[in-house]
């Protein structure tokens, strides 16, 4: 009876050790995976931040272009107002 109990304990200890080793390995794999996910998350956030900065720069450039176009249009209107009724510049009589 003692032999059986001793064998059972030995098998139980062996199973326990294998389960523990397996659990430790799985925990390490999960930790590596989690670190990989966080690293990728940080990279994506940095990429999104760069895209946002590029969009802001494009928007600002468009605003400058729009303002320049408005200035040209106003200048053309001022030139048109300076012409007299005959279509000649106001200074030519």
Q: Give the DSSP letter string of 12-72.
A: HHHHHHHHHHHHHHHHHHHHHHHHHHHHHHHHHHHHHHHHHHHHHHHHHHHHHHHHHHHHH
Cα 4 from Cα 10, distance rounded (Å): 10
pTM higher than 0.85, yes or no? no
Q: How confident is the model at residue 66 (pLDDT cuts 50, 70, 90)?
A: confident
User: For residue range 8-34, what is the model confidence (pLDDT) as tens digits?
Assistant: 777 888 999 999 999 999 999 999 999
């Amino acid at each position: 009876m003692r032999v059986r109990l001793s064998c059972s304990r030995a098998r139980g200890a062996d199973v326990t050790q294998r389960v523990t080793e397996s659990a430790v390995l799985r925990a390490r794999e999960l930790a590596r995976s989690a670190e990989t996910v966080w690293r990728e998350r940080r990279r994506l956030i940095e990429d999104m931040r760069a895209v946002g900065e590029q969009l802001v720069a494009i928007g600002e450039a468009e605003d400058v272009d729009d303002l320049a176009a408005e200035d040209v249009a106003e200048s053309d209107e001022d030139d048109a107002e300076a012409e007299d009724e005959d279509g000649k510049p106001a200074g030519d009589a």
